[in-house]
Amino acid sequence: MSHIPPLDPRVAAKKGFRESEERLKRFWTEATVTPEDGGYVVLLDGRAPKTPAHARIRLPTEATARMVADEWAAQGEFLDPGTMPATRLAATAIDRVSQTREPVADEIAAYVGSDLLCYLAEHPTNLVAEQDRHWSPWRDWAARELGVTVTATRGIVHCAQPPESLTRVRDLALELDDFALTGLAMATPLLGSAILGLAVQRRALAGAVAFDISRLDEAFQERQWGIDADNAERTAARRAEADLLDRWFRALG
């Protein structure tokens, strides 16, 4: 999504979480969490790390703050931002999504117009059956639990969805706080589906399971032709991202 960066950051921190090409040597011994102004902040030896916009990393729940603190605590001699996705989520929510909530919600809603769950294969028969088995229940769930009705089609020809469904998803997104909205904005393109993203956000579906549901076509091709090592590595990284987002939503409560 254009308004937020990916979870895999190429960011370094220096007494904070600032963008830099410089490798930062660990300067703290202990990462802790403490209540502050109705939320929780992460402290590194009593000092609060900052976002790229120099804001304190204040999170809404103790569990989310613990996720961030654990990332800082787990660092080795040098900081590795690529191992700090929860910190990245927090900084993105604070610096960027808080300032662009409506455009972010618009982008999430736009996915309903071409949601993965609405485009089923025409053949082969076993893939068609697999998609029906795994995708139909979540379209039904969206209609029943979210009030979002979508129409499925076979093939790749565009199938217009009811405008009220896009509006409903936008409204649901805007009901979320900045931290949950950030998670949804990252889950939706990862899964190719606003419906699956909302299912994970609402804890109706585990992140890793949603990811597997989202890649039925790819998994089918792998069973037919084998798995390329590079693709396997990318898939593992994306599944780990889905799992991280699942833990993020659960930590938000």
Q: Percentage of residues in the chain with pLDDT exceeding 70?
A: 91
For residue 11, pLDDT beyond 80: no
Categorize the per-residue pLDDT at 18 as very low, low, confident or very high, splitting at 50, 70 and 90: very low
CA distance 248 to 184: 10
Q: Give the pair of three-digit tokens for residue 6.
A: 């990916």
For residue 175, pLDDT beyond 90: yes
Per residue in 91-123, pLDDT (tens digit) is 999 999 999 999 999 999 999 999 999 999 888
The CA–CA distances, whole Å, from 42 to 38, 71, 162, 188 equal: 14, 11, 44, 28
18 conformational bin, left if phi > 0, alpha if psi -120 to 50, beta if neither? beta
Q: State pTM to two decimals.
A: 0.89
